[in-house]
Amino acid sequence: MRLPNTPHFRTLPVKRVVIFVGFSCMNDCRFCVAADKRAFPDKSTLEIKGELLDAYKGGARQVSFTGGECTARKDIFDLVAFARAQGFTSVQIQTNGRAFASIAFCKKMLRSGMTVLNPALHGHTATLHDDLTRSPGAFRQTVLGIHHMQKLTGGKLLISMNTVIVQQNYRHLPEIITFLLKFKVMHVQFAFVHAMGNARKFGKEIVPRKTDVMPYLKRALDIGRKRGVLVMAEAIPLCLMQGYEDCVSEFYIPTIEVRERGFIIPRFEDVRVNEAKVKFPSCRVCCSNGVCEGVWREYPEYYGSTEFKPLKSTKGFS
C-alpha cells in the first residue's frame, strides 16, 4: 500500500524545526491546547537564537515560530532576520494574525525575511471568530492583516490558513473556506480540535463528534479542490476520509523537530503517532492501518470508537 497518487500529493523531505517561543498570547481561545502553560516564562532572545543555530546544524532548513503568540514578542523581527541569516530558506509565522493589522508591522516583518504566513481564522464572521477566541475585534484585525500582506506582496506571499474544527463552527466549514478563498490563499487546513488545555476544560461543549463533522468538512474540501487550492484535514482517520485521501494533512507533514521550554522532540511524528494518538482493536483489520494515525488519544473519552469502521479497500491507495 502506498500513499495517494493524486495531483495534490507531494512529499516534503526537508526537515523543519518548530520553536515554541513562549505561551504569552493576546487571545484566550476556547480550544487553546496551551492554555495551561501560560504561566511559564517566555524564552529569551538568546535562548531562541541558540536553538536556531543548533537546529540548523542538525539539518533543519525550515523554521516555524509558534507559541502562544510569537508576534507578541518585540524581538520577533530580529529572530526572523537571524534565522534567514543562518541559512533557513523558509521562515513561517504561526499566528492569530492580529499584529498584522498594523501595516507598519507587516512591512517590518517582510523586510526581516518571513516567507510563510500561517494565520488562524476560526469563523467567517466576527461573531463566530471573536466568540471562539474570546477577543472582541480579533476577526477584524486578522482579516485586515491578511489583506495587508496580500496587497504588500502582490499576492505572492505563501499564506497558509488554519481553522480549528469545534462544535461552534463545524457546520460553517463550507462558508469559512468560501470566505478564506476571497483572499486567494494557497493553502487551507482544517484541524480537528485536540482536547487539551481549554478544550479539555470545556469538553463536549467544544469537541464535536467526528461523524457529525464529516458532511460539512467534505463539502468544504470540495470547494477548495474546485478552486485548485491545497486543502487538508488534520486528525481525521482514513476510514472517514475515503475519496479524500489526498486531503489527509499527516501525509504532507515533513520531519519535524519540536523545541519547547526545557526539552526537544527530535522527531515529533513519532510522538504524534505513538503517544498523542490512539487506534482501536478494530483498526487491526483495516486495510489502511499501516498508514492511518488514528485519533487524538483523548477523543474516545467523549465519544468512544464505534463510529470508526475498518476498511476492506480504499480507492485512494494501491
Helices (H), 182-256: 198-202, 210-226
Instruction: Report CA 255 to chain centroid distance, whole Å.
Output: 15
Residue 318 lies in a domain: no
* pLDDT band, residue 254 (cuts 50/70/90): confident
**Domain membership flag for residue 277:** yes
- Supply the pLDDT for residue 6: 40
Q: Rounded to whole angstroms, how far apart are CA atoms 56 and 62?
A: 9
pLDDT of residue 12: 52
pLDDT for 7? 36
Strand-pair category, 277-278 with 295-296: antiparallel
pLDDT at 10: 43
Note the pLDDT tens digit of each residue in 131-182: 999 999 999 999 999 999 999 999 999 999 999 999 999 999 999 999 999 9
Instruction: Look up the CATH number of the domain holding residue 109.
Output: 3.20.20.70
Mean pLDDT of 276-287: 95
Which residues, in sequence order, are CB contacts of 95 under 8 Å at separation 6+? Answer: 69, 70, 71, 117, 118, 119, 120
| Domain span including residue 195 | 16-303
pLDDT of residue 4: 45
The residue-averaged pLDDT of 28-54 equals 95
CA angle, 205 then 208 then 210, to 5°: 170
Q: Which has the closest alpha carbon to 2: 227, 165, 246?
A: 246
Whether 11 maps to a domain, the answer reads no
Binned at pLDDT 50, 70 and 90, residue 8 comes out as very low
160 part of a folded domain: yes
Residue 317, domain member (yes or no): no
The reply to whether 3 falls in a domain is no
> What is the grid cell recorded at 93?
509565522
Q: Is the pTM for the entire model greater than 0.75?
A: yes
pLDDT digits (tens, 9 = 90+) for 186-231: 899 999 999 999 999 999 999 999 999 999 999 999 999 999 999 9
Query: Does the residue 4 lie in any domain?
Result: no
Q: What is the mean pLDDT of residues 229-245?
A: 96
Whether 318 shows a pLDDT value over 50: the answer reads no
Which pairs with CB-CB distance under 8 Å and at least 24 residues apart come from 77-81? 77/108, 77/109, 77/111, 77/112, 78/45, 78/112, 79/21, 79/45, 79/48, 79/49, 79/52, 80/109, 80/112, 80/113, 80/114, 81/112, 81/113
Q: How many domains does the chain have?
A: 1
Q: Is residue 253 part of a domain?
A: yes
User: Taking 90 as the threshold, does the pLDDT of residue 2 lie above it?
Assistant: no
Give the whole-angstrom CA distance, residue 238 versus residue 316. 10
